[in-house]
């Protein structure tokens, strides 16, 4: 078996995934072949797997240098859950715990050790490292080595001398989500990477839906947004501490379970706010930008910015905390012109106390103003939001319209849809009021869908009659027809679509019906949002989520460490009844099957049997 075969096997057996994500395979192959690596991958792309799989395949131990205690802890508990022997060495350990861990490390107990950069050159650690077989050294959040970035960490400068002290130079890889050219060059230079394999997988996060709203009343808009995302977990960023407190209070008054978080709060309160949010016991956290760095919660379904941040770097970083599990997530910016003025004020007055000389201060302020201008264009302009972000980061997107942002969805025009409305109504009649909006739309566009075939709906003459419109448009039309009382939906958990009081008029087509829809000639990839979201059995999903909560509480770990949302969805979708079938669920490997397989199988069994 080649090393790459072993890597593929580990992907399935240990981590429970079928395929590599973009870039992962190349990075793993490069590491396995003995090369140094410099990888730029956006948040959520799956950097960890890129070095964890080689760690399992290569003989010896892998050292991972990581900047944050919380990141290390989460990574290690996730690895242990998958049955991988791992540990961390940082200042959160007592001297006794530290010695014990080091003893184990000496005895070759661990495959992966996470270590804080400041530890590397300590006598104890050096002594261990010089006598161990080190397969590779990995530098996570590698941009911390560069003084160009905001996250400069002097300890990272000890990595290169540490490597020099080792009797045999291990392969060295660096990972970051920060892309600017100067930072990349710094990483290669300061870590002294040798002819590294360089890869940048691109900054797009296709599962994020970007949205800008420009409301008069932000509170009302926020409440509307949260109502649309009921039951989901998310972050609301505010520009100031005062804002955090006011918004959190407002939400609680409106009956929404929300906690506040900012650097001015007492440590204890802040810690418990964070823990409650990560543990899924409070769904919404209202925070300043102090919240997020180092918080490894993958199932964040939305990030709302109550205020516009100062630049697109900050915005994309904060918004990017949504959807790290690869599930569909929403990033919504609430914009008001006052945001621009506040940021201008901060730029003009923020530098006063800094140690920079007057001239440098002015240059810095000019650059900050330029960045603010770009941010403002994003908030106020038209066109595709994704294109604008990616363009800002120097990437040329493949499409002008991504079809998955509010900019694209509003690239629209009013037109006559009298004929289409008639076709929709006759389709709904043919389906005899037994199906919901989503399935009806899929029938009308002639989607290939198991449920449609199974119910014989592909035999209807309405099947595929609106294929040219695309699913998003057809759904939009159905929504408008409901508002116009041409169609109506029943009450209840699974609302069904049926003809409304004005269905007959629409069918006869006496009166023209006009709607605003994306124009046919804009190259919009329709239906993307809709098709991405698999229809799952909500009731089963709720039960699986509750089981995950119980287990997480018992074990004192965040729920997503047990299984991610994506895994639970896939499980609800596949409904495994045997251990072998359970292994086919995305994100279930041998380790997790061993630990939780039976509990989840029993839950599914009980559900199906009811």
Interface positions with ligand ADP (CB under 6 A)? 17, 19-21, 24, 41, 43-49, 298, 324-326, 564
Per partner kind, with CB cut-offs from 5 to 8 A, the member of ligand ADP, Zn ion, none near residue 326 is ligand ADP
d(CA 119, CA 259): 35
SS3 562: helix
Per partner kind, with CB cut-offs from 5 to 8 A, the member of Zn ion, ligand ADP, none near residue 553 is none
Q: What is the DSSP string of 147-210?
A: TTSTT--GGGGGHHHHHHHSSSPPEEEEEES---HHHHHHHHHHTT--S-EEEE--S--TTEEE
Question: Is the CB of 15 or the CB of 315 nearer to ligand ADP?
Answer: 15
Where does this chain bind Zn ion (CB under 5 A)? 384, 386, 402, 405, 408
Taking the complex as a whole, how short is the minimal distance between the CB of residue 50 and ligand ADP, in angstroms? 8
Taking the complex as a whole, how short is the minimal distance between the CB of residue 47 and ligand ADP, in angstroms? 4
Taking the complex as a whole, how short is the minimal distance between the CB of residue 599 and ligand ADP, in angstroms? 20
Question: Is the CB of 27 or the CB of 439 nearer to ligand ADP?
Answer: 27
d(CA 471, CA 348): 48
Per partner kind, with CB cut-offs from 5 to 8 A, the member of Zn ion, ligand ADP, none near residue 500 is none
Question: Is the CB of 194 or the CB of 399 nearer to Zn ion?
Answer: 399
Segments of 262-356 assigned E as strands: 284-287, 302-305, 329-334
Taking the complex as a whole, how short is the minimal distance between the CB of residue 44 and ligand ADP, in angstroms? 5
Nearest residue to 198 (alpha-carbon basis) of 185, 209, 216? 185
Backbone Cα Rg of the chain: 26
Look up tokens 């566009």; give the residue: 445
Query: Which helix (DSSP H) or strand (DSSP E) does residue 605 occupy?
Result: helix 598-609
Question: Is the CB of 278 or the CB of 474 nearer to ligand ADP?
Answer: 278
Segments of 455-593 assigned E as strands: 487-489, 497-499, 514-518
Residue nearest ligand ADP (C-beta atom): 46
Per partner kind, with CB cut-offs from 5 to 8 A, the member of Zn ion, ligand ADP, none near residue 17 is ligand ADP
Per partner kind, with CB cut-offs from 5 to 8 A, the member of ligand ADP, Zn ion, none near residue 47 is ligand ADP
- Hey, which residues does 212 pair with through a beta bridge? 333
Taking the complex as a whole, how short is the minimal distance between the CB of residue 75 and ligand ADP, in angstroms? 8
Taking the complex as a whole, how short is the minimal distance between the CB of residue 326 and ligand ADP, in angstroms? 6
Q: Give Cα separations from 171 to 53, 60, 112 (angstroms).
A: 14, 12, 14
SS3 428: helix
Taking the complex as a whole, how short is the minimal distance between the CB of residue 20 and ligand ADP, in angstroms? 5
Question: Is the CB of 48 or the CB of 173 nearer to ligand ADP?
Answer: 48
Question: Is the CB of 71 or the CB of 408 nearer to ligand ADP?
Answer: 71
Per partner kind, with CB cut-offs from 5 to 8 A, the member of ligand ADP, Zn ion, none near residue 408 is Zn ion
Question: Is the CB of 524 or the CB of 561 nearer to ligand ADP?
Answer: 561
Per partner kind, with CB cut-offs from 5 to 8 A, the member of ligand ADP, Zn ion, none near residue 384 is Zn ion
Q: Look at phi and psi of residue 587 and say left if phi exceeds 0, alpha if psi is from -120 to 50, else beta.
A: left
Taking the complex as a whole, how short is the minimal distance between the CB of residue 16 and ligand ADP, in angstroms? 8
Question: Is the CB of 310 or the CB of 569 nearer to ligand ADP?
Answer: 569
What DSSP state is assigned to residue 595?
I
CA neighbours closer than 13 Å in the CB half-sphere of residue 385: 29
Taking the complex as a whole, how short is the minimal distance between the CB of residue 161 and ligand ADP, in angstroms? 26
Question: Is the CB of 472 or the CB of 564 nearer to ligand ADP?
Answer: 564
Taking the complex as a whole, how short is the minimal distance between the CB of residue 177 and ligand ADP, in angstroms? 7
Per partner kind, with CB cut-offs from 5 to 8 A, the member of ligand ADP, Zn ion, none near residue 405 is Zn ion
Per partner kind, with CB cut-offs from 5 to 8 A, the member of ligand ADP, Zn ion, none near residue 402 is Zn ion
Per partner kind, with CB cut-offs from 5 to 8 A, the member of Zn ion, ligand ADP, none near residue 344 is none
Q: Compute the C-alpha angle 414/416/418, nearest 5°.
A: 140
Taking the complex as a whole, how short is the minimal distance between the CB of residue 212 and Zn ion, in angstroms? 11
- Hey, which residues does 171 pair with through a beta bridge? 136
Question: Is the CB of 15 or the CB of 392 nearer to ligand ADP?
Answer: 15
Residue pair 593/14 in contact by the 8 Å Cβ criterion: no
Per partner kind, with CB cut-offs from 5 to 8 A, the member of Zn ion, ligand ADP, none near residue 49 is ligand ADP
Question: Is the CB of 408 or the CB of 487 nearer to Zn ion?
Answer: 408
Look up tokens 């990972």; give the residue: 175
- Hey, which residues does 115 pair with through a beta bridge? 65, 89
Interior/surface letters 203-238, b for 16+ CB within 10 angstroms, e for the rest: bbbebbbbbbbeeeebeebbbebbeebeebbbbbbb
């Amino acid at each position: 078996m080649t090393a790459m075969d072993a890597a593929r096997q580990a992907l399935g057996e240990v981590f429970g995934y079928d395929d590599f994500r973009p870039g992962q395979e190349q990075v793993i192959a490069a590491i396995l072949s003995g090369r140094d690596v410099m990888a730029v991958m956006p948040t959520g792309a799956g950097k960890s797997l890129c070095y964890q799989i080689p760690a399992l395949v290569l003989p010896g131990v892998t050292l991972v240098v990581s900047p944050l205690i919380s990141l290390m802890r989460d990574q290690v508990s996730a690895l242990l859950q998958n049955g991988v022997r791992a540990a961390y060495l940082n200042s959160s350990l007592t001297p006794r715990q530290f010695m014990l861990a080091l003893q184990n490390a000496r005895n070759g107990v661990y495959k992966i050790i996470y270590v804080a950069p400041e530890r590397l050159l300590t006598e104890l650690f050096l002594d261990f490292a010089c006598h161990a077989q080190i397969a590779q050294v990995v530098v996570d959040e590698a941009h911390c080595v560069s003084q160009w970035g905001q996250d400069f960490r002097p300890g990272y400068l000890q990595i290169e001398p540490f490597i020099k002290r080792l009797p045999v130079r291990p392969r060295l890889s660096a990972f970051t989500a920060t892309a600017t050219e100067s930072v990349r060059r710094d990483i290669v230079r300061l870590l002294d990477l040798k002819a590294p394999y360089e890869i940048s997988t691109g900054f797009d996060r296709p599962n994020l839906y970007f949205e800008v709203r420009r409301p008069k009343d932000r509170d009302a808009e926020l409440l509307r947004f949260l109502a649309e995302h009921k039951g989901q977990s998310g972050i609301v960023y505010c520009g100031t501490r005062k804002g955090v407190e006011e918004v959190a209070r407002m939400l609680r008054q409106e009956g929404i379970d929300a906690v506040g978080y900012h650097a001015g709060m007492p440590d204890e309160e802040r810690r418990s706010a964070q823990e409650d949010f990560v543990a899924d016991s409070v769904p919404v956290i209202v925070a300043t930008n102090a919240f997020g760095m180092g918080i490894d919660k993958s199932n964040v379904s939305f990030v709302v910015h109550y205020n516009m941040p100062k630049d697109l770097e900050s915005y994309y970083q904060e918004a990017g905390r949504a959807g790290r599990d690869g599930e569909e997530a929403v990033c919504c910016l609430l914009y008001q012109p006052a945001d621009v003025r506040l940021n201008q004020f901060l730029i003009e007055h923020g530098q006063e106390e800094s140690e920079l000389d007057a001239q440098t201060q002015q240059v810095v302020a000019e650059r900050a103003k330029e960045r603010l201008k770009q941010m403002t264009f994003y908030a106020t302009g038209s066109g595709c939001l994704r294109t604008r972000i990616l363009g800002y980061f120097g990437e040329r997107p493949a499409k002008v319209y991504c079809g998955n942002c509010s900019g694209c969805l509003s690239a629209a025009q009013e037109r006559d849809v009298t004929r289409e409305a008639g076709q929709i109504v006759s389709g709904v009649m043919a389906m005899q009021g037994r199906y919901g909006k989503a399935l009806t739309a899929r029938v009308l566009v002639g989607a290939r869908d198991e449920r449609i075939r199974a119910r014989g709906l592909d035999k209807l003459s309405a099947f595929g009659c609106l294929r040219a419109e695309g699913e998003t448009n057809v759904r939009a039309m159905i929504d408008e027809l409901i508002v116009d009382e041409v169609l109506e939906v029943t009450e209840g958990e699974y609302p069904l679509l049926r003809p409304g009081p004005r269905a007959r008029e629409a069918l006869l087509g006496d009166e023209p019906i006009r709607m605003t829809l994306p124009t046919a000639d804009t190259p919009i990839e329709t239906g993307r949002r809709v098709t991405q979201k698999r229809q799952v059995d909500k009731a089963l999903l709720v039960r699986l989520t509750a089981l995950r909560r119980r287990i997480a509480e018992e074990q004192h770990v965040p729920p997503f460490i047990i299984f991610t949302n994506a895994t639970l969805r896939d499980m609800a979708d596949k409904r495994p009844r045997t251990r072998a079938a359970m292994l086919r669920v995305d994100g279930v490997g041998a380790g997790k099957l061993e630990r939780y397989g039976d509990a989840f199988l029993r839950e599914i069994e009980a559900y199906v049997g009811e």
